[in-house]
């Protein structure tokens, strides 16, 4: 069983391929009509290859759709990726594509603050319950400080004069990105660090 690439979670395994053109088209279509994150949650859960680029490398990858941290806290997705150094984990929190990441003053919006607070809550819970998470929940090698990604809003919502403030949000093991950026990295399009 250990020789199976899909081990230890064969039902959560993400195929080793890029998202297809049809996958990207589906994401663009759902995004165009979405009023909140629910339809995007369903699509990404059904097509986790779209989330694979959030793990930035690795060989084998797994996606947990709405996993539970002891029944108390539920991230939208928990991703695991096998590197030569072991498993690396990524928390993913989706917010509405209609929610602006920044307010008019260029400060994090209420929705973004809530998402970042949730990530903090997950980290606190894992610090206090790490043995339980690894053994009873089966999240091998997970740690509280793993990388987190918040996907919120659209690029057009970020005013040019606030671009530097927006970029500053992605630090300390947390990335904040728009759904436009998710489409670009999922499709393998070239993108620059300064893009939103």
5 domain-assigned: no
* Residues 99-117 pLDDT 10s: 999 999 999 999 999 999 9
**Core vs surface per residue 33-63: b (16+ CB within 10 A) or e:** ebeebeebbebbbebbbbbbbbbeebebbbb
State pLDDT tens for residues 61-106: 999 999 999 887 999 999 999 988 889 999 999 999 999 999 999 9
Confidence at residue 193, expressed as pLDDT on a 0 to 100 scale: 46
Residue 191: what pLDDT?
47
Q: What percent of the chain has pLDDT over 90?
A: 81
Beta-sheet strands, E only, within 26-118: 60-65, 77-83, 86-94
Query: Would you say residue 193 lies in a domain?
Result: no
Look at residue 2 and tell me if it is in a domain: no
Smallest Cα–Cα separation from 152: which of 89, 92, 84, 105? Answer: 92
- The structural domain count of the chain equals 1
CATH code: domain of residue 129: 3.40.91
How much is the pTM?
Answer: 0.92
Show Cβ contacts of residue 3 under 8 Å, excluding neighbours closer than 6 positions: none
Domain with 100 in it: 10-187
81 and 90 Cβ atoms separated by less than 8 Å: yes
Query: Per the domain annotation, does 1 fall within a domain?
Result: no
Residue 96 lies in a domain: yes
Question: Does residue 4 lie within any of the structural domains?
Answer: no
Distance CA 37, CA 152 (A): 9
**Which residues of the chain are under the pLDDT cut of 70?**
1-3, 190-196
124 part of a folded domain: yes
Residue 81 inside a domain? The answer is yes
């Amino acid at each position: 069983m250990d020789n199976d690439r899909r081990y230890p979670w064969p039902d959560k395994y993400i195929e080793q391929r890029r998202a297809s053109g049809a996958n990207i088209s589906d994401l663009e279509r759902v995004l165009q009509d979405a009023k909140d994150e629910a339809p995007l949650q369903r699509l990404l859960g059904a097509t986790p290859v779209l989330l694979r680029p959030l793990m930035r490398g690795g060989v084998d990858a797994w996606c947990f759709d709405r996993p539970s941290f002891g029944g108390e806290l539920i991230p939208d997705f928990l991703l695991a990726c096998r590197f030569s150094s072991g498993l690396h984990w990524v928390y993913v929190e989706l917010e509405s594509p209609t929610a602006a990441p920044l307010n008019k003053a260029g400060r994090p919006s209420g929705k973004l603050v809530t998402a970042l607070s949730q990530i903090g809550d997950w980290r606190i819970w894992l610090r206090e319950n790490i043995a339980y998470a690894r053994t009873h929940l089966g999240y091998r090698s997970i740690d509280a400080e793993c990388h987190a990604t918040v996907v919120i809003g659209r690029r057009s919502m970020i005013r040019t004069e606030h671009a530097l403030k927006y970029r500053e949000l992605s630090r300390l093991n947390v990335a904040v990105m728009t759904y436009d950026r998710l489409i670009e990295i999922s499709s393998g399009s070239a993108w620059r660090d300064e893009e939103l």
